[in-house]
Structure 1
């Protein structure tokens, strides 16, 4: 794990901002001391029982609730309201982060602490721990990250500092790669290359013609198997999103050999362009039209959820009122509430989830994560879910023409 970070002087600096809808006054470090909090199921989570800010009484503080996907992890930090002062960490590029655009990493949390996560096994385990053979050479440039301080006259709205930080973030993104690093291992813009093209989808059970891969995630990552970018943690990755018509452009790519990978929201599976892409200094490679054919053996009979690598459409229960973070009440990220795994046991105390296709509603009847059931002795047991569906005609051929497709959140 690689975790450079900054811890600020506490006076007045306890308003944290990670996104437009994820910002709040945070507890103080003393609130995590014995007598002021109750330890929960793991050391990072604590119930505030006697915080200095009384309005936080009864809330859960847990640094993992403030994690963020790499693709969205551009700016986060703190505001001191008197005098109005901001401290911000800006990461213009996530090319050096591991695990691809959907990998979750820590941001800011009680301290006030601000972290720059480069390598982390959080939410993934040993698959994202770099492994080296005896004598294997390796080097990688992490960063640089940009520390931005801003301020406003006393009496001005201190929360405007967040808006200013976002403006500065966009400036830094447009300035990447920086020209000032002296290391020869940090390639400047004229040493890098660019790749462009168009991604289309061919799924004849949906449309006989090509479909533009609208909003597809397209990236260059080290050569590997289909989907291997999710486990890659030793080199660099470069990602973008295709436009409405499937056109994409990946700029400022470091020299080297890559595979081009993609996935398209709304379609199952992963795409890999099988011919390696070699980036040289100053190259501008036009890939032309690339066609992704999603895996299938026949028409879809039924589907649970949306194949978009998110569990947002499934049922996320309300948290136990005794263990709540008010920031995430009625929030798109309500799945970050503490203790939701125990809510499954309350909903299914004896029998596991049974989903009936054509009757059940996945927004209400499909739990967002497959979790174990808590037993009376405080141990856990595995759960087995069932999907019931009718099938009027069954083919006895070795390779059935029917594709039974469901999207679970596990």
Structure 2
């Protein structure tokens, strides 16, 4: 009888340990799934929503086209024959299985900051994704950029292989924000200007052009950046796709749709606090004096005002205050004050529909005016908006509008 009882107790203990192990494994995989959302893996690796992470998204770079690869566990065309060490090398060093060099369109210069435990959980999750047999020719760059060995020189000049080190003088939430912004969320990949080699240029987080959209200044600069936003307003933008100043469009719409709307509130606030404190940048990057606006007697401003009150004031109001939740506030809007007016020109020319999210499923839209406004007229009205109601920014020329019109016709 004692033997039977002992055997039963051992069996129960073994069952409990097995259940605990299964629960821990599930938690690791679920954490890995969340990490894939934080990193917005789907934005680059999902071309077909019915085949998640099977690759095929074209990434246009100044040097040519790259196509994001299949990262499902398919043995022939995905990561099925990879080991964790292969995956880690890809994520943190830009070295794929077999030793080939990746291009920094895969943001390993940011992912290099990821902790090993997060990499392992992300890898565990990717192993559970449904395998898809989808062969992708990733490198479609022209000669000589298609020679991957050139990346050895690029890495020597532009890549800092380092671990994330929390700042002991900063609170945990700011360090969490730093870990996300600088690493897995890779915000600088879009919002930091590029140098001539495609590496990080000067002016961290001060904005850059992505697919003919301006990824705006996200420093605490109150005139050109997000310094005029509150923490809650930045969280609202990332969670719902819009706030009183702006609605996410273009590449940022994809980021909100697939990624930031699903972040935890703690992570949203951590990212907002890190960005708004300017903890990761040189203080001088967000302390420039605001310029003086063009005089209302300026000929271009006067011409633009007539167009604005005829075509725009019905939605954005005569004082540029907009309609909360429907039409952005143009007055004292730091995103309008960027030196580069690409996004503003683009939405006037071609219109735009903001991102739809779970929180705001009905996305507001901006109609296109390029069909009946000339390049001069659009330049004038954009210049008027950029120099009214507390805004101040350089003029926009008809040539700027013509260049954007040509780019849109080529899409």
Same-fold call, TM > 0.5?
A: no
Normalised TM-score (structure 1): 0.26
Which of the two has greater helix per residue? 2
TM-score (norm: length of structure 2): 0.26
Structure having the higher strand fraction is 1
